[in-house]
Amino acid sequence: MIVTPYGQQLISIAEISSTPSMGVFYVQAEMAILDEFQDFCVLECSGCKQKKRTKDRKDFECPKCNRKTSLVPRCSFQIDLIDDTATTTTSISVELGEKLLSMTAEDIFDITCTKRQSLSLNHVHEMLSSKVFEIQLRKSSWSSSNTTTTTLSILSYMEKQHTTESATDRTFKKIKPLEISEVEVMATTAASGPSNALGKFESPTPTKKV
Ligand SMILES: [Zn+2]
């Protein structure tokens, strides 16, 4: 059993996906924003904070507040967690999301919904790459008619101080040069003649392990 420095039990991404129990879990994983073309924000009623399925920011008659209210953007987006066992998509919102993107919800709404542009995420990809985070997740579910939806949301995250070898060498940046050098090695082996063919087949292929 692995525990965090604060004594919480860690579970793997595969386990959190398969467990039927709901609640708060702790994982150690890499974080990546794989969907760059999401809106990164939603509009909610300024009164009751209920999420609205619209990108049109005009005043509306809120049935819950029973008055005319304005819509305000809230930062909310999908982020993927990756460990040795699996990959899962979770949601991150409000302050955590704004902090991760270094942007306010107003700025995000202006870019993705008003201007219909995609966010520039280079600085975020850079910040997340080759890092392992200790992440507190809430798994929750709700039922409507006969379908049950299960969601994972990030409650908090912090960078793990000592990253392990196995975790860091799985990142995109380090896999790419490995593939290139492998191609080069195979090309030179093939060019040097049929006498080396046996050696070529015996050489390990690193990509298959990934
Ligand atoms: Zn409302």
Nearest to 78 by CA among 121, 20, 142, 110: 121
Over its length of 210 residues, how does the chain's per-residue pLDDT go in tens digits? Answer: 667 666 778 999 999 989 989 999 999 999 999 999 999 999 999 999 999 888 888 888 999 999 999 999 999 999 999 999 999 999 998 999 999 999 999 999 999 999 999 999 999 999 999 899 999 999 999 888 888 889 999 999 999 876 455 444 444 444 444 444 444 444 444 444 455 444 445 555 455 444
The count of other CB atoms within 10 Å of the CB of residue 62 is 18
pLDDT of residue 168: 45
Verify that 132 and 192 share a domain, yes or no: no
pLDDT of residue 85: 95
Residue 20, in any domain of the structure: yes
pLDDT of residue 8: 74
Q: Which domain holds residue 198?
A: 172-209
Verify that 36 and 70 share a domain, yes or no: yes
Verify that 145 and 203 share a domain, yes or no: no
114 contacts 106 by C-beta, under 8 angstroms: no
pLDDT of residue 206: 52
Verify that 191 and 146 share a domain, yes or no: no
Verify that 116 and 193 share a domain, yes or no: no
Task: Mark the residues whose beta carbon lies below 5 A from ion ligand 1.
Answer: 45, 47-48, 62, 64-65
Residue 4, in any domain of the structure: no
Distance from Cα 96 to the centre of ligand 1, integer Å: 23
Verify that 68 and 94 share a domain, yes or no: yes
Q: What are phi and psi of 205, to 5 degrees?
A: -105, 105
pLDDT of residue 5: 66
Residue 77, in any domain of the structure: yes
Distance from Cα 150 to the centre of ligand 1, integer Å: 25
Residue 6, in any domain of the structure: no
Residue 126, in any domain of the structure: yes
Distance from Cα 67 to the centre of ligand 1, integer Å: 8
Distance from Cα 75 to the centre of ligand 1, integer Å: 18
pLDDT of residue 187: 47
Dihedral (Cα; 192, 195, 201, 207), 10-degree rounding: -10
Supply 46's token pair.
């300024």
Supply 23's token pair.
């609640």
Distance from Cα 105 to the centre of ligand 1, integer Å: 19
Verify that 111 and 194 share a domain, yes or no: no
Instruction: Give the Cα separation of 60 and 70 in Å (integer).
Output: 6
pLDDT of residue 54: 86
The count of other CB atoms within 10 Å of the CB of residue 139 is 18
Distance from Cα 48 to the centre of ligand 1, integer Å: 4
Residue 3, in any domain of the structure: no
Instruction: Give the Cα separation of 178 and 163 in Å (integer).
Output: 20
Verify that 37 and 101 share a domain, yes or no: yes
- C-alpha pair distances (Å), 117 with each of 72, 111, 155: 19, 6, 28
Distance from Cα 50 to the centre of ligand 1, integer Å: 6
- The domain that holds 66 is classified in CATH as 2.40.50.140
pLDDT of residue 189: 45
Verify that 66 and 157 share a domain, yes or no: yes
Nearest to 155 by CA among 172, 180, 178, 138: 138
pLDDT of residue 172: 46
96 contacts 103 by C-beta, under 8 angstroms: no
Residue 7, in any domain of the structure: no
Distance from Cα 54 to the centre of ligand 1, integer Å: 14
Verify that 203 and 115 share a domain, yes or no: no
Structural domain tally of the chain? 2
Judged by DSSP in three states, 85 sits in: coil
Verify that 97 and 195 share a domain, yes or no: no
pLDDT of residue 148: 86
Residue 8, in any domain of the structure: no
Verify that 51 and 99 share a domain, yes or no: yes
